[in-house]
Chain A
Amino acid sequence: MIEVQQITKRYGQHTALDRVSFSVAKGEVLAFLGPNGAGKTTTMRILTCFMPATEGTARVAGFDCADQPLEVKRRIGYLPETPPVYQELTVTEYLQFVGRLRGLSGKILTASMQREVERLGLGTVQHRLIGNLSRGYRQRVGLAQALLHDPPILILDEPTVGLDPKQILEIRELIKNLAGSHSVILSTHILPEATAVCQRVVIISGGRIVAEDTPEQLSARLRQSEKISLTLKSPAADTDSRLKSVQGVQNVFTSGAPGTFLLECELGRDVREEVARLAVTSGWGLLELKAISMTLEDVFLQLTRHEEGLAPDAVTAAAEPASQPA
């Protein structure tokens, strides 16, 4: 549905996007991850025909963004970073205006408005001025606007910003339900969101795509070694060297807290059983033993910080506290 080839966008001297290519299939949900200023919004603005690319082509639903912008715009529902609402209108008036701009009228317009008001829980506020609504409601009005004409393609720039946790879950559920019938691109800096709703993740940094894969494979690909965290109640002086002698263990680090060890092992080899046996027979008082897998957050930090020239070790160490048990 969406095909982007070698897109470059320059603002004067500054290159915001550098030869970016990706594609989105019908019914797929793609997440755009990246730090601020990475080029997420620029990419979305090019896809929605708001601004033209300096080089390269973008095709949406078979239409070129540069040559047939009206055809592209008809097929896209777009939620920009700031919800594009008119404060002096009520929710109903606003949706009516949006629908008319997109050529909806009569019963179809009324039905579409009713569908979105229900879907996004706007029933209680539909006759209030948007200017008097909270940030969360405005965001939902913005989403209702994007969905109103039931477009096959949705482009959502940080769709869950400003919502409370319950609403975030609802919106994620909504996006998941749209998958299959709609192609969705969403940008986010909330990593669990990408894992929760997307089939594919594109990580973008400094205007370039640095990784593109499923969330699971991204973490797998970047994991160079298995890591195990071990906590002992009464470690002996030779615990270090004895742990190292276990087959498959490559390195043993003692981390800050006393009795906590970090074991780096050969890839694809589970040494937990062996380590547990050793700890028990030596009477070290085994308290905790767990495998550490890289979360998407670690992957993200590693990829985007590499860009800035930070040592990978420093990054993994920094990412460690966020790790979750496998």
Chain B
Amino acid sequence: MTPVQAIIAKELRSYFVSPVVYVVGSVFLLIVGLLAYLYVFFAGAQAIQLMQMQGSAQINLNDLVFRNLFGSIRFILLIILPILTMRLFAEERKLRTFEFLLTSPIRINEIVVGKFMSVFLVFLSLLGLTGLMPLMLALFSDFDWYPVLTGYLGLVLLGALFLSVGVLASALTENQIVAAFVSIGLLLVLWLLAGLGTLLGDTAIGQAVSYLSFMEHYDHLVRGLVDTKDLVYFFSGLALMLFLSHRVVDSARWK
């Protein structure tokens, strides 16, 4: 077992013996389930209305359910993923195991990657459970699977980015609450950059600011558009956040 695998195994163990994952997971699945139910319900109501008006109804579940749902999950992730990441480094520093970790014969990037991978796996398992919804919906209706799958790809990439911001915030402090708020704040700023970009209009600065926000990149994927430009955004953002976490952890030794 490599050191990275050892860290992943240990972190997963820590996640699943604490109640946090179960609480966060249930709340996440409950809200996503409720939202999915509401969107399906509204789509049904709309179909009935169309039936009454036109005698027949062709409604698009991709537009009425999935695009709305993916839009909402984005916001839920922004709130709950920082709760999952906040303990990663802050707890080590609080409980003085940080020193032990840094005097173990492993590199700092192995620690950062191991911790990120562990929480990423937790996130993937939660996201995997939401996959039941499209599967169940597919039993009773017809929709285009392609944008649903690219939407899930978008969620995976978006989640990875959010988690890497959370890892960075957790490395910055030994207080878990502070870590959670810092990452929620950073993510909200990233979100609002899209609005600022629109405000600045079609100038070079406006475009650059919009590009920094995850909004349009994620929207492309939800609409079924897989563009290299968007993939590059997510991967470079992830790499930058993990690199910054590495620097922060490294510099924490000097204080």
A residues with a Cβ closer than 8 A to B are: 11, 45, 48-52, 70, 73-74, 76, 78, 80-82, 84-89, 93, 97-98, 100-103, 105, 145
Contact = CB atoms under 8 A, between A and B. Distances in A.
Given A86-B14, A88-B18, A101 B106 contact: yes
B104 A45 contact: no
Given A49-B103, A101-B106, A84 B96 contact: yes
B97 A51 contact: no
Interface stretch (B3-11, B35-43, B215-223): B3-11
Contacts of A85: 97
B9 A97 contact: yes
Contacts of B1: 100, 105
Contact of A102 (B14, B17, B104, B254): B104
Across the A-B interface, give the 7 residue pairs with the lowest CB-CB distance, nearest first: A84-B100, A100-B6, A73-B105, A82-B96, A48-B103, A74-B105, A84-B97
B156 to A, nearest CB: 28
A78 B95 CA distance: 16
B247 interface: no
Interface string B106-144: 110000000000000000000000000000000000000
Contacts of A86: 10, 14, 95, 97
A146 to B, nearest CB: 10
A74 B14 CA distance: 25
A101 B8 CA distance: 11
Contacts of B106: 70, 101
B254 A52 contact: yes
Contacts of B102: 50
A73 B108 CA distance: 13
Interface string B62-103: 000000000000000000000000000000000111011111
B229 interface: no
B18 A101 contact: no
Nearest to B107: A70
Given A78-B103, A97-B10, A101-B106, A87 B95 contact: yes
Interface string B206-249: 00000000000000000000000000000000000000000000
A98 B9 CA distance: 12
The contact size tier of chain B is 20 to 34
A73 B105 CA distance: 5
A326 B171 CA distance: 56
A73 B104 contact: yes
Given A88-B17, A89-B13, A100-B1, A80 B99 contact: yes
| Residue from the set B10, B14, B100, B107 with the largest chain A CB neighbour count within 10 Å | B100
A78 B97 CA distance: 12
Contacts of B107: 70
A98 B7 CA distance: 10
B7 to A, nearest CB: 8
Given A51-B254, A88-B17, A89-B13, A80 B100 contact: yes
| Residue from the set A73, A87, A97 with the largest chain B CB neighbour count within 10 Å | A97
A70 B105 CA distance: 5
Contacts of A89: 10, 13-14
A131 B26 CA distance: 26
A50 B103 contact: yes
B96 A80 contact: yes
A73 B9 contact: no
Nearest to A104: B1
Given A88-B18, A93-B13, A103 B105 contact: yes
A156 to B, nearest CB: 13
B5 to A, nearest CB: 8
B103 A73 contact: yes
| Residue from the set A74, A76, A84, A103 with the largest chain B CB neighbour count within 10 Å | A84
Contacts of B255: 11
Given A45-B99, A103-B105, A105-B1, A51 B10 contact: no
A51 B253 contact: yes
Contacts of A98: 104
A271 to B, nearest CB: 54
A76 B103 contact: yes
A88 B87 CA distance: 13
18 contacts: A48-B103, A51-B254, A52-B253, A70-B105, A73-B103, A74-B105, A76-B103, A82-B95, A84-B97, A86-B97, A88-B13, A88-B14, A89-B10, A97-B9, A100-B9, A101-B106, A102-B104, A145-B100
B105 A102 contact: yes
Contacts of A100: 1, 3, 5-6, 9
Given A89-B14, A105-B1, 5 more contacts: A45-B99, A73-B104, A84-B95, A84-B96, A101-B105
Interface string B41-61: 000000000000000000000
A269 B39 CA distance: 101
Given A51-B254, A101-B6, A84 B99 contact: yes
Contacts of A81: 96
A212 B99 CA distance: 28
Given A73-B105, A84-B100, A103-B105, A50 B253 contact: yes
